[in-house]
């Protein structure tokens, strides 16, 4: 059995032992596939990891940059208290439409606002609207804009805000400073900004599993 197959089998083992079977989330993934959405959702284990982070932190307000079909959105929204709110940003109207249906299926639509359009424009609008800071921010959108998303995340943070970024290892390609892939360049610039920014303390954890070899960044805003 090759390494990638082992990673996937272990993910399956973890899910079977530690994550309750959830017909709704299974249906969400099926809906996304049938709607032609790219198969880039977080895994079950990663979804529960995000859910637990929110619960451990006691977050009441979440910002998600990158909705896709709402799979990670549901994991995050389920961790919120009854008066919690999640704002999620999605570029593609079709993706947003599928996500809205999935959120309704999971009965979390009352906690979630989907904002449709280019994320950087939406973030600027949110600033102009005076949207208050968030307790937890999940960055999982187009990687070339990761540095800009981090700057906006810091704008919408307060001391104690947790910021998580997905796909920050990219199969180890982040090591190659000459890699021309805009996604790798964006992630490397993301690291550079984290290293220079005094308002946040952060680390990154490499991950393997059904999503391949990648990683999460987790940071705590300190001021």
Classify residue 167 as left (phi > 0), alpha (psi -120 to 50) or beta: left
Q: What is the pLDDT of residue 115?
A: 98
Vertex 70, ends 122 and 18: CA angle to 5°? 135
CA atoms within 13 A on the CB side of 144: 4
**What does each of the 223 residues of the chain score in pLDDT, given as a tens digit?**
789 899 999 999 999 999 999 999 999 999 999 999 999 999 999 999 999 999 999 999 999 999 999 999 999 999 999 999 999 999 999 999 999 999 999 999 999 999 999 999 999 999 999 999 999 999 999 999 999 999 999 999 999 999 999 999 999 999 999 999 999 999 999 999 999 999 999 999 999 999 999 999 999 999 9
Burial 28-55 (b: 16+ CB within 10 A, else e): bbebbeeeebeeebbbbbbbbbbbebbe
Residue 139 CA to residue 55 CA, distance in Å, equals 18
pTM of the model: 0.97
Q: What is the pLDDT of residue 1?
A: 74
Distances (CA, A) of 25 to 20, 37, 100, 102, 151: 11, 15, 14, 9, 32
Q: What is the pLDDT of residue 96?
A: 98
């Amino acid at each position: 059995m090759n390494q990638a197959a082992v990673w996937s089998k272990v993910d399956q083992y973890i899910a079977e032992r530690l994550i309750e079977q959830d017909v709704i989330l299974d249906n969400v993934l099926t809906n996304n596939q049938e709607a032609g959405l790219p198969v880039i959702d977080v895994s079950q284990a990663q979804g529960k990891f995000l859910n637990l982070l929110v619960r451990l932190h006691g977050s009441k307000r979440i910002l998600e940059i990158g909705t896709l079909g709402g799979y990670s959105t549901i994991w995050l929204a389920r961790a919120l208290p009854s008066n919690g709110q999640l704002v999620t940003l999605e570029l593609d109207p079709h993706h947003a439409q599928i996500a809205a249906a999935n959120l309704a299926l999971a009965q979390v639509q009352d906690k979630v606002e989907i904002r449709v359009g280019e994320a950087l424009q939406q973030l600027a609008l949110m600033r102009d609207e005076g949207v208050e800071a968030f307790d937890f921010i999940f960055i999982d959108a187009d990687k070339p804009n990761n540095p800009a998303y981090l700057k906006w995340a810091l704008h919408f943070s307060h001391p104690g805000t947790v910021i998580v970024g997905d796909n920050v290892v990219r199969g180890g390609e982040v090591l190659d400073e000459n890699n021309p892939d805009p996604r790798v360049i964006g992630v490397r610039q993301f690291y550079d900004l984290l290293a220079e920014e005094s308002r946040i303390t952060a680390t990154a954890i490499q991950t393997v599993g059904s999503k391949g070899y990648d990683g999460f960044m987790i940071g705590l805003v300190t001021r």
